[in-house]
Amino acid sequence: MTDASVKVPLITVAGKEVDCDLVNRGGIDYYRQRVISDPDVTATGTLTNLNDAVTIALDGRANAAFQLEHAGWTGGVTVEGSNGTVWTPIYSFYAGTGVAILEHEDRPTGTILRAVVAGLANVRIRVSTLGSGTVTIKAVVTHVTGGVFLNFPLPQGENLIGSVGNPEYAVASNPAAANGKAAELVTVHGYRRQWSSATVYGDICPYLAGGQANMNTPVVGVAQYLVSTSVQDATGGTGVDRVRITYLDSAGVEQSMDATINGTTPVALGNGFSFIQMMESWHSTTPERYTVGNVTISSVNGVATESTTVEMIRAMHNRSQSGRYKVPAGRHAHLVDYHVSIVKLSGGGEAFHDVVVNGTLFNDKTDGVSNTFRMLRGINMRDGGIFMDDCHYKKIPAGAIVKMSDKPTVITDGNILKASFDLIVMDE
Model pTM score? 0.61
Q: Cα angle vertex 154, ends 150, 157, to 5°?
A: 150
DSSP string over 372-424? EEEEEEEEEEETT-EEEEEEEEEEE-TT-EEEEEEEES--SS-EEEEEEEEEE
pLDDT in tens, 165-188: 444 444 444 444 566 677 888 999
Cα separation, 278 vs 321, in Å, equals: 8
Cα separation, 308 vs 381, in Å, equals: 31
pLDDT of 126 = 95
* Residues β-bridged to residue 420: 189, 339
Cα separation, 18 vs 419, in Å, equals: 81
pLDDT of 247 = 96
Phi, psi of 352 (to 5 degrees): -110, 150
pLDDT of 15 = 47
pLDDT of 187 = 94
pLDDT of 216 = 96
* Residue 14 identity: A
Q: Which domains does the chain have, with CATH numbers?
A: 4-35 (no CATH), 41-142 (2.60.120.260), 156-214+322-428 (2.60.120), 216-313 (no CATH)
Cα separation, 115 vs 79, in Å, equals: 8
Regions in the chain scoring below 50 on pLDDT: 1-15, 148, 151-153, 158, 160-161, 163-176
Contacts of 395 (CB under 8 A, 6+ apart): 332, 333, 334, 366
pLDDT of 136 = 96
pLDDT of 357 = 95
Instruction: Give CA torsion, residues 377, 375, 428, 278, to 10 deg.
Output: -90
HSE toward the beta carbon, residue 17, CA cutoff 13 A? 9
- Count the Cβ atoms, other than its own, within 10 Å of residue 82: 16
pLDDT of 134 = 95
DSSP helix/strand/coil, 50: coil
